[in-house]
């Protein structure tokens, strides 16, 4: 509505809430799908090159899970823990983002 009216100040004020809620929706959609049982369309433990990279860089999937849990517990307030790929270094990393 603010965009249609050309109300720039309201659009700017709403951007933070839109990013927070929209991003939260997308992140939760990914999160819940990945945690669903396999027979309900959820993810399986990583295999192939991803499984190999996790084992090589973190020692095991269980070690990665422990690292992700520790990073998540250390976040103050709300936020996300991500398994990311550093394309330049060609390695996986665990990253956190607030909110």
Read off the pLDDT of residues 58-97 as tens digits, 9 standing for 90 and up: 999 999 999 999 999 998 888 889 999 999 999 999 999 8
Phi/psi region, residue 47 (left: phi>0; alpha: psi -120 to 50; beta: rest), is beta
Read off the pLDDT of residues 13-34 as tens digits, 9 standing for 90 and up: 998 888 888 888 887 887 777 7
**Exposed (0-12), middle (13-18) or buried (19+): which is 11, by Cβ within 10 Å?**
middle
Read off the pLDDT of residues 36-49 as tens digits, 9 standing for 90 and up: 778 887 778 889 99
Q: Which pLDDT score, from 0 to 100, does residue 67 have?
A: 97
Give the DSSP H or E segment for 82: strand 79-86
Q: Which pLDDT score, from 0 to 100, does residue 28 have?
A: 81
């Amino acid at each position: 509505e603010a965009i249609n009216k050309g109300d720039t100040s309201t659009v700017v004020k709403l951007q933070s809430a839109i990013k927070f809620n929209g991003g939260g929706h997308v992140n939760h959609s990914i999160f819940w799908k990945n945690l669903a049982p396999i027979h309900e369309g959820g993810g399986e433990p990583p295999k192939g090159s991803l499984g190999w990279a996790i084992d090589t860089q973190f020692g095991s999937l269980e070690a990665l899970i422990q690292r992700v849990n520790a990073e998540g517990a250390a976040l103050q307030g709300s936020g996300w823990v991500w398994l990311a790929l550093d394309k330049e270094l060609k390695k996986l990393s665990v990253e956190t983002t607030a909110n």
